[in-house]
């Protein structure tokens, strides 16, 4: 397999003071696993690496390495650079990108369970809006996510899958990092 840039999204570290992992330590850990071109973004488990391994293999290796280092088992989702570019290009709510800190992309580790979104009427959550596209939920919360009824409704329990969310600014920055090397 040819070496490709891959985006590593780690769920559950550095949130609310739990499972702290400094980004310098994350870079060291990823480089120690043999990945090249390691870059991190923000203090919330975002990284970009170059690897010849499949994204699912990278995810498993990173999960295990962090579990060994922190004694916690985070969930890790890895996307090939082109997969992330496709997510960005496929954004069904382009107007929402004007305020990238209030526009969120939730990456699902699998497809939502059957019927998970039944009864979730978009009009019930105005001014928030959302769209599901495959294994990604695009969510615009113009008043922020903290008090958003929509964000609370579109939770992992309802969806029936593990998920991790990033704001649009972070998603586009990760693609920019993947394009650097």
Average per-residue pLDDT for the chain: 92
Q: Is the pLDDT of residue 17 over 70?
A: no
Q: Is the pLDDT of residue 121 over 80?
A: yes
pLDDT tens digits, one per residue of 31-80: 999 999 999 998 878 999 999 999 999 999 999 999 998 788 889 999 99
Place of tokens 């559950």: 12
Adjacent-strand bridge partners of 137: 106, 132
What's the pLDDT band for 14 if we cut at 50, 70, 90? low
Place of tokens 């958003």: 148
What does pTM read for this prediction? 0.93
pLDDT value of residue 18: 67
What are the chain's domains? 4-84 (3.30.70.1280), 85-175 (3.30.70)
């Amino acid at each position: 397999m040819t070496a490709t840039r891959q985006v590593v999204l780690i769920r559950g570290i550095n949130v609310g003071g739990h499972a702290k992992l400094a980004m310098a330590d994350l870079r060291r850990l990823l480089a120690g696993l043999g990945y090249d071109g390691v870059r991190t973004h923000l203090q919330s488990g975002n990284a970009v690496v170059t690897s010849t391994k499949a994204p699912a293999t990278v995810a498993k290796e990173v999960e295990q390495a962090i579990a060994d280092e922190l004694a916690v088992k985070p969930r890790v989702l890895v996307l090939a650079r082109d997969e992330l570019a496709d997510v960005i290009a496929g954004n069904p709510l382009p107007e929402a990108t004007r305020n990238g800190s209030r526009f969120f992309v939730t990456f699902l580790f699998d497809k939502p369970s059957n019927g998970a979104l039944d009864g979730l009427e978009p009009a019930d959550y105005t001014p928030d809006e959302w769209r599901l596209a495959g294994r990604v939920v695009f969510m615009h919360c113009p008043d922020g996510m903290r008090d958003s009824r929509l964000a609370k409704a579109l939770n992992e329990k309802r969806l029936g899958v593990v998920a991790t969310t990033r704001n649009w600014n972070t998603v586009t920055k990760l693609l920019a990092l993947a394009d650097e090397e």
